[in-house]
Amino acid sequence: MKQFEVPQYYKSSFISKIKESRKTNDPRKKDFSPTILDFGPVRFFIARHFGFCYGVENAIEIAYKTLEQNPGRRIFLLSEMIHNPGVNADLTSRGVKFIMDTSGKQLIEWNELKHDDIVIIPAFGTTMEIENLLKEKGIDPYRYNTTCPFVEKVWNRSNLLGREKYTIIIHGKHYHEETRATFSHGVQNAKAVIVRDIEETKILASIILGEREKEDLYNYFKGRLSEKFDAGRDLKKIGVVNQTTMLASETEAIANLLKETMIKKYGAENLKNHFADTRDTLCYATNDNQEATYGLLKQKADFAIVVGGYNSSNTSHIVELCENKLKTYFVSSEEKIVSSKQIRHYNIHTKEEITTFNFLPAKKPADIILTSGASCPDAVVEKVLQKILSFYNDAKKIEDVASLLL
């Protein structure tokens, strides 16, 4: 796999040793059990797979090379390049400005852009409408494009379905940049509808089967349907794609439900004429992170710490998986661990940061699961680990534990 030039301060020699050790001993990623780091009074169970993925490293390399190669020019990011506050803050400190926030709210008006400005497309991609708008201003939307190849793979799958007259069912969060982009690209050749989860898919299935009125589709999925969508005409042939950071198990359940729905309506012998049996479009890193999380959760631990941006979809799904098994703290950096008695962490359900006291167990050793999302630098994960270690005066030195890895 290609090696990217990522700023050194995002890296961690300690985390690199952990990953290199696992890669050497398990090159085909068949073992998703955690790496155990025993520091004496505290033990960490580190996920088999976590941190920067191909698409994120690609985006970071392009962004920093763009800054380096264009001194004096105005450089804009269409929105957050990746969902990590540290990376985006660093780019902002270097003069990069954001045109929109993650929800699409305009921060800089389009009329402020000039033809010689640089606009970087984030890893999530962007809509056809914005691409055309940039072209009209004389700005090449593809010159500094960091769109993840796995997102583009979803677009290509959508285009193929459209050419074969299938309606695209997109499993994703309709407000997410990637899903907005996939929807925009998909409707160039096909009808499309966005479903958030299995419950919404059940509603769609009941409409297909005629158990609900067609008007329910327009009311319930308002704002998530392509133009002039006809419930009677456009749900006869369907295929499923997804936002690449969604839960794989949920995408599979959605596809299976819709497949069974089409069998029920048209018969198994006619299924191929009504349901495109596409393979999951989840990216490899999201899938590996989720599989590694399942492997982590086989381990008994006192609690889990998940590190990443609070608006990171793939990270929130890791948190969701962990929460089903044990107490989980979602933090954006080591700064959220205020002391051995206090931790500030994000509640993905209420969308707010909360404080928990006395989070460390009195028992020794304390057993802690540690992982991160695909947009979190390894350096931040190490800082979280070191912050926890600082609370144990009798803990082994990190270099001594590191020496046992290889």
Catalytic residues: 178
Placement of tokens 């962490």 in the chain: 345
Q: Taking the CB of residue 138, how many other CB atoms lie within 10 A of it?
A: 11
Placement of tokens 């069912």 in the chain: 169
| CA separation, residue 326 to residues 296, 305, 340, 370 (Å) | 11, 10, 20, 13
Placement of tokens 């392509």 in the chain: 226
Placement of tokens 């957050």 in the chain: 80
Euclidean distance between the first and the last CA atom of the chain, given in angstroms as a whole number: 22
Do 146 and 58 touch, CB atoms closer than 8 A?
yes
Radius of gyration of the chain (CA): 23
Q: Edge-to-edge strand order for the sheet containing 167-171?
A: 192-195, 167-171, 238-242, 275-276
CA 251 to chain centre: 14
Rounded Cα distance, 161 and 147, in Å: 21
Rounded Cα distance, 319 and 328, in Å: 7
